Structure 1
Amino acid sequence: MTKITNRTVDKAFEIYLCLYQAVTGTEEDQNIYKQFSWEFFDLIIVDECHRGSAADDAAWRQVLDYFESATQIGLTATPKETKEVSNIEYFGEPIYTYSFRQGISDGFLAPYKVVRIGLDKDLDGWRPEVGQTDKYGQVIEDREYNDLDFDRSLILEKRTALVARKVTEFLKATDRFAKTIVFCENIDHAERMRQALVNANPDLAAANSKYVMRITGDSDEGKAQLDNFIDPESAYPVVATTSRLMTTGVDAQTCHLIVLDRRINSMTEFKQIIGRGTRINEDYNKLFFTIMDFKRATALFADPDFDGDPVQIYEPTVEDPPVPPEDGEEGAEDEVIVDDFGDPLDDGEGPRPPRTKYYVDNVEVRVATERVQYLDANGRLITESLTDYSRKTVLKAYSSLSEFLTVWNDAERKQAILDELAGQGVFLEELAEQVGRDYDAFDLICHVAFDQPPLTRRERADKVKKRNLFAKYGDQARAVLEALLQKYADAGITSVESLDILKVSPLSGLGTPVEIIKLFGGKDGYLAAIRELETALYQTAA
């Protein structure tokens, strides 16, 4: 196998990897693919075939036409069917399809939920008073402005600040260091959103200037940070504002939040944007993600061409918490394609007349009252509480309390059960917002699904202490178990099951992880002690 580089052809290999650009050019001597005979290849595989390969007039189609005797297979996650571009017309009907929904069901792709926030000016529009001027003294054209105009011809600065505040509220309620991508209308909007997010997060932005970064095609500084953003081991940047640069070709494995503040009318683009969050990374606890939608772009979920339904749609009112209380070689698609008004920079029609952009800083924008909705496993829109949805889902997996208790008590890792339920749309963090933050995941499930009276984590921990479970251990091992019990009371069973807890205070003060494990005679002895602790914690269950 070889990769074709430097326009050099060696016919001694069996498999060749290349870019179209590496074997074609405007000059005939650059078309090195012709150094192969037309019948040289038996099989040609075209990745991302929705791009140049699918268009009749594409410069690269000549390569496929030249090797017409070979079997040609096109691969794409976002096939295109337009008047100009058709994957089916050239490659034929799909011979194999693996749907987004199936990928989520099989555990390869992350499930997600949607937080929809409707802003009053977006929903109702806005009209200036007669003679009203913007912040620079320009008289605003008298007409009805709507979300087609916002952040293009009309900038409502308080709208930008409100979006930044809602995003910040969500991160503060979940994880302020969760990787986040904010998709904006254009580069100017992305810069204003970056500044608004800095203003909304002055503490973290002051601690590290890379907390919020604008990553757009015109920003060398931002593009230089793209690799750090997608690197799971790199803490910064945390929040990236962009327009089109990060729509595709960005493998953001730990992206937990995607914010849509840009109109999206293309199903292909919508799928590409959603794809930025679908990677699963268990090592970094990336098991699902959230879409925060300010532009009603997620209405595309109802399109029959979309096959990956969200597990939840949440539309908070102004008084509601931000999280559900119930519950690059890709540069060809960069921002340079459109201007701040969304118009092509080069549309082939010559110079356009200048357009006026208004900046308005004294118009209030508010969150409108909306409703809470969920999509069930079959994609039907339903209106019920997360509690009811969770109860039905748990009962499908466990028909009785005794069955659940058997599985729970036999599980070596309780987290495996919680991950399985999360994959079916039972998000315990959101459920805890309604039932109670002090309850263990076990008690939330038993209470919601089987009507059992819940105990707080503190109550369970106190019951174990009264039984003097640790008497058989030495002083140091007993101190470790008591610290673990305290960690359970504070954070739940998941923290106790992870060996990483041994690196955290106060356990880190009792010795290194190796030293602590030796107190129990080795890893097997330590894990046996953890199992004994878990058994004692849940022994009081009905």
Structure 2
Amino acid sequence: MLSKTTLSERDICTKYITPAIENAGWNKFSQFLEEVSFTDGKIYVKGKLTARGKQKRADYILYYKPNIPIAIIEAKDNKHSVGAGMMQGLEYARILDIPFVFSSNGDGFLFHDRTAENGIIETELALEDFPSPAVLWARYKQVKGLTSPVATKLAEQEYYLDGSGRRPRYYQQIAINRTVEAIAKGQNRILLVMATGTGKTYTAFQIVHRLWKSGVKKRILFLADRNALIDQTRKGDFKHFKDKMHIVEKHQVEKSYEIYLALYQGLTGTEAERNIYKQFSPEFFDLIVVDECHRGSARDDSNWREILQYFHKATQIGLTATPRETTEISNSEYFGEPLYTYSLKQGINDGFLAPYRVVRIGTNIDLDGWRPEAGQTDIHGRPLEDRVYTTRDFDRTVVIKERTELVARKITEFLKGHNRLAKTIVFCVDIDHAERMRSALANESPDLVKADYRYVMRITGDNDLGKMQLENFINPEEKYPVIATTSELMTTGVDAQTCEVIVLDNNINSMTKFKQIIGRGTRINEEYGKLFFTILDFRQATNLFADSEFDGDPTRVKEVGEKDDLGVIEDEEEQATDDDQPILDDVTGQPVEFSTPEPPVPVVGEPKIRYPQGGGQGGTGGDKRQKFYVNGVDVTILLERELIFDEHGKPVTIKLTDYARQKVQEHFATLDEFLTTWQTSDRKAAILQELQDQGVPVEQLKDAVGRDVDLFDLLCHVAFDQPPLTRRERANNVRKRNYFTKYGAQARSVLEALTDKYADHGLDELDSLDLLSAPPFTGIGSRLEIVQQFGGKPQYLKAVQELETELYRTA
């Protein structure tokens, strides 16, 4: 009989752990799963190529009900102790929000109760003493406070499954369960913070369905502030409510439905319109879901907040990717601290969100500023104030035609090198800027515009034709529009699954707005090849990536209405957009921008020039800023570089080689330690993958040090100051030592050809037998004949490994 210590981990699971679970009363088909992958694996981008990292995978997850994961088991083979898997199990349990953890090697179980606040936390159990579902469920209900029959019924209510096999991801499951359990215990204000692209609406649907199906909540209102959001919700995840669902429209109130979708603007506005929501009694709705709650409803004195206060007896759930916390606006003060947060960084690391590349492009006038010549006027003959204009002014108060054309040209150049049909959103300062950018981009791609005028379109709040094309833009199956120029309309709530390029040509002073814009590119669509996206930044807006608040918990800061040292109010667009004024983009067709004119900043000692406020020449709709249009300015590119990010998603601000040295030395303290690991690593891939996981940009290092330098020399040079040899120098050194003379003529010719391959391309394919089916090896013999020259395949592979060692011998 085989000893238990000779069995593999999988054999231990099959012969000992699974039978123990089943004997305790757990149903294999509905109550536990084996080898459960709960992440997709981080996406790594290398040029235009992508690769998936490893998925996180638990050996067992136990479910009391399909929607309630209750325990996790980590298994080890019998050479390990019974508790050897506990640390891994606890880490997975923390991520998955699972209370009970078991570790086993087939001899028994070590049980860890994460809910225990005092007393014994860990206990050893015999195989036959594994707890039953009823035992763990009773403990779960006790610690969660689900003591009443109603609370238990609500907690046990299962998800809606449509037969497609789609189930909530682990983080959605946590958000759903925490919300349902909190409501079961009587909590009436709930805030969920989930990064854009992580499925907030699907999460909301599952919450609403469980509450509605259980009978705990009978009339539900889903509130949003844009028609696009309502349409996406109605046609998307909420479509399963069918004839139970109704969209509230102006002057039309129906009270016979159970699920209501409504625009804030459809319930507020004029005094007559405000009566619409008051036609419902304050007790009519018992659940309200507020989508994008960082917007109008976050402000205490907004008209939109009045709706929530009118239905104050209803349970209210706020959903956002970017909670707002300022001295004047607070999501957490109204809804409470977030019940659950799933961040952009978590989503990217788990492989559920697309990673991003950042390319910064700076023009001479962006980086150095532009000062008009003495007495210079704009194209309308109006004198320009004599001062230095910066990116804060461009397209807001001063429009320089050559800058717009240069930005359009650089966008087009990028798309030509990437994919001219890649869905692209260009975020502009205002509607006027978006129209001029559309025209400039059209002029850069006349062939594609001739093929279909929708190749580039302005999609803004005042443009009905553009808004009609918004659904086509976000539909992966629709080819056109390809490029959308916009200002505010597409900053939030637009589910652009295949958007591959985000262009920032506006001044972003708000972290909330920045996160929302970046979120337009974070969705993954593998069917259409969308696995990452690129940010082209013309205004240094990506400096916000370095802000400590970018992916952290919200803090109360002065974000809106902050005056600078010249008395200028910052972030006026954000203030106007997010206060109690309606978002007019797709409701009334009026322009979105409500900014007041910015007072000119005079040069010290110069007389001030006063201009009348108002639209003036060049004004657009509701845009009241005075704009000056200037031609004939020399605009050139001074800076173009790709930003590198560390493993925490923060931009690397130190010298690239210094950053790489730091990261390599964190793993290999000495050169000897590195050499030992290199010689024992299988195909050197382990080192490369580990360094890439830590954010070391190997491809960019090759550009900095030299692409004819092997990875080995590259790392030795960067981390340990070793003089780098090129691959060809290493190949020549092997020949000088007459290493090949110990082999026969044909074997020697094969190894010499392999050495040439190394000199040209490196080690990537050196031990691949497929290499022998291509020139120059086909001129030596067939694959079988070549291998036989070494005495067989094992001997051939050994010879190749010895060649690799010889190539690095000088180290």
Q: Is TM-score (shorter-chain normalized) higher than 0.5?
A: yes
Partner of 2:394: 150
Q: Which moved more, 1:180-189 or 1:124-133?
A: 124-133
Partner of 2:295: 51
- Rate the CA distance shift 1:123–1:5 in 2: closer, same or farther, 3 A: closer
Can you give the 5+ residue segments of structure 1 that lack an aligned partner in the other structure? 309-327, 344-349, 409-416, 473-535
Partner of 1:203: 447
Partner of 1:275: 519
Give per-residue Cα distances to partners, 1:200-253, cap 9 Å, x unaligned: 223333333222222222222222222222122222222211111111121111
SS at match of 2:454: coil
The aligned amino acid for 2:773 is: V
Map 1:13-412 onto structure 2 (within 5 A): 16-19=259-262, 21=264, 24=267, 26=272, 30-31=276-277, 34-35=280-281, 37=283, 41=286, 43-307=287-551, 331=586, 336-338=591-593, 352=614, 354=616, 356-369=626-639, 373-378=643-648, 379=650, 381-385=652-656, 389=660, 400=678, 403-405=681-683
Kindly indicate whether the alpha-carbon contact (under 8 Å) linking 1:245 and 1:335 is maintained by their aligned counterparts in 2: no
Counterparts of 1:424 and 1:209 in 2: how far apart (Å)?
45
- Rate the CA distance shift 1:465–1:446 in 2: closer, same or farther, 3 A: farther
RMSD: 4.5
Offset of residue 471 of structure 1: 9.3
Partner of 1:465: 774
Offset of residue 279 of structure 1: 0.7
Kindly indicate whether the alpha-carbon contact (under 8 Å) linking 2:614 and 2:626 is maintained by their aligned counterparts in 1: no
Kindly indicate whether the alpha-carbon contact (under 8 Å) linking 2:663 and 2:691 is maintained by their aligned counterparts in 1: no
Q: Percent identity?
A: 49
- Rate the CA distance shift 1:380–1:266 in 2: closer, same or farther, 3 A: closer
Kindly indicate whether the alpha-carbon contact (under 8 Å) linking 1:4 and 1:22 is maintained by their aligned counterparts in 2: no
- Rate the CA distance shift 1:444–1:255 in 2: closer, same or farther, 3 A: farther
Kindly indicate whether the alpha-carbon contact (under 8 Å) linking 1:256 and 1:289 is maintained by their aligned counterparts in 2: yes
Give per-residue Cα distances to partners, 1:458-505, cap 9 Å, x unaligned: 99887423567x999xxxxxxxxxxxxxxxxxxxxxxxxxxxxxxxxx
Give per-residue Cα distances to partners, 1:3-50, cap 9 Å, x unaligned: 244522237x5xx34326599464686336744747x73x54333222
Give per-residue Cα distances to partners, 1:66-114, cap 9 Å, x unaligned: 5444443322111112344211111122222112111111111111121
Structure with larger Rg: 2
Offset of residue 152 of structure 1: 2.4
Counterparts of 2:349 and 2:356 in 1: how far apart (Å)?
12
SS at match of 2:591: helix
**Is 1:10 matched with 2:256?**
yes
- Rate the CA distance shift 1:9–1:446 in 2: closer, same or farther, 3 A: farther
Counterparts of 2:696 and 2:421 in 1: how far apart (Å)?
23
SS at match of 1:337: coil
Kindly indicate whether the alpha-carbon contact (under 8 Å) linking 1:153 and 1:341 is maintained by their aligned counterparts in 2: no
- Rate the CA distance shift 1:168–1:76 in 2: closer, same or farther, 3 A: same
Counterparts of 1:139 and 1:384 in 2: how far apart (Å)?
45
Map 1:497-536 onto structure 2 (within 5 A): none
Offset of residue 446 of structure 1: 8.2
The aligned amino acid for 1:196 is: A
Counterparts of 2:421 and 2:662 in 1: how far apart (Å)?
31
Structure with greater contact order relative to length (CA < 8 Å, sep ≥ 6): 1
Give per-residue Cα distances to partners, 1:392-441, cap 9 Å, x unaligned: 68x97996476453989xxxxxxxx99x998876789878978999x9xx
Kindly indicate whether the alpha-carbon contact (under 8 Å) linking 2:461 and 2:592 is maintained by their aligned counterparts in 1: no
Offset of residue 194 of structure 1: 1.5
Q: Which moved more, 1:196-205 or 1:279-288?
A: 196-205
Counterparts of 2:455 and 2:461 in 1: how far apart (Å)?
19
- Rate the CA distance shift 1:339–1:65 in 2: closer, same or farther, 3 A: closer
Kindly indicate whether the alpha-carbon contact (under 8 Å) linking 1:80 and 1:87 is maintained by their aligned counterparts in 2: yes
SS at match of 1:381: coil
Counterparts of 1:65 and 1:340 in 2: how far apart (Å)?
29
Counterparts of 1:169 and 1:330 in 2: how far apart (Å)?
31
Kindly indicate whether the alpha-carbon contact (under 8 Å) linking 1:184 and 1:242 is maintained by their aligned counterparts in 2: yes
Kindly indicate whether the alpha-carbon contact (under 8 Å) linking 1:134 and 1:358 is maintained by their aligned counterparts in 2: yes
SS at match of 1:182: strand
Give per-residue Cα distances to partners, 1:431-454, cap 9 Å, x unaligned: 8978999x9xxx997896799955
Q: Which moved more, 1:420-429 or 1:181-190?
A: 420-429
Counterparts of 1:232 and 1:390 in 2: how far apart (Å)?
42
Counterparts of 2:691 and 2:588 in 1: how far apart (Å)?
38
- Rate the CA distance shift 1:340–1:75 in 2: closer, same or farther, 3 A: closer
Kindly indicate whether the alpha-carbon contact (under 8 Å) linking 2:663 and 2:696 is maintained by their aligned counterparts in 1: no
Q: What is the TM-score normalised by the length of structure 1?
A: 0.66
Counterparts of 2:588 and 2:653 in 1: how far apart (Å)?
37
The aligned amino acid for 1:464 is: S
Counterparts of 2:462 and 2:318 in 1: how far apart (Å)?
32
Offset of residue 129 of structure 1: 1.7
Map 1:418-437 onto structure 2 (within 5 A): none
Counterparts of 1:290 and 1:339 in 2: how far apart (Å)?
30
- Rate the CA distance shift 1:237–1:21 in 2: closer, same or farther, 3 A: closer
- Rate the CA distance shift 1:449–1:28 in 2: closer, same or farther, 3 A: closer
Give per-residue Cα distances to partners, 1:492-538, cap 9 Å, x unaligned: xxxxxxxxxxxxxxxxxxxxxxxxxxxxxxxxxxxxxxxxxxxx9xx
The structure in which a higher percent of residues are strand is: 2
Kindly indicate whether the alpha-carbon contact (under 8 Å) linking 1:5 and 1:22 is maintained by their aligned counterparts in 2: no
SS at match of 2:535: strand
Kindly indicate whether the alpha-carbon contact (under 8 Å) linking 1:9 and 1:32 is maintained by their aligned counterparts in 2: no
Counterparts of 1:47 and 1:359 in 2: how far apart (Å)?
39
The aligned amino acid for 2:481 is: P
Offset of residue 277 of structure 1: 0.6
Offset of residue 176 of structure 1: 1.9
SS at match of 1:94: coil
Kindly indicate whether the alpha-carbon contact (under 8 Å) linking 2:359 and 2:642 is maintained by their aligned counterparts in 1: no
Kindly indicate whether the alpha-carbon contact (under 8 Å) linking 1:156 and 1:363 is maintained by their aligned counterparts in 2: yes
Offset of residue 268 of structure 1: 0.9
Counterparts of 1:69 and 1:340 in 2: how far apart (Å)?
36
- Rate the CA distance shift 1:145–1:58 in 2: closer, same or farther, 3 A: closer
Offset of residue 61 of structure 1: 3.5
- Rate the CA distance shift 1:246–1:64 in 2: closer, same or farther, 3 A: closer
Kindly indicate whether the alpha-carbon contact (under 8 Å) linking 1:258 and 1:292 is maintained by their aligned counterparts in 2: yes
Q: Which moved more, 1:57-66 or 1:290-299?
A: 57-66
Counterparts of 2:479 and 2:439 in 1: how far apart (Å)?
20
Partner of 2:746: none
Kindly indicate whether the alpha-carbon contact (under 8 Å) linking 1:278 and 1:289 is maintained by their aligned counterparts in 2: yes
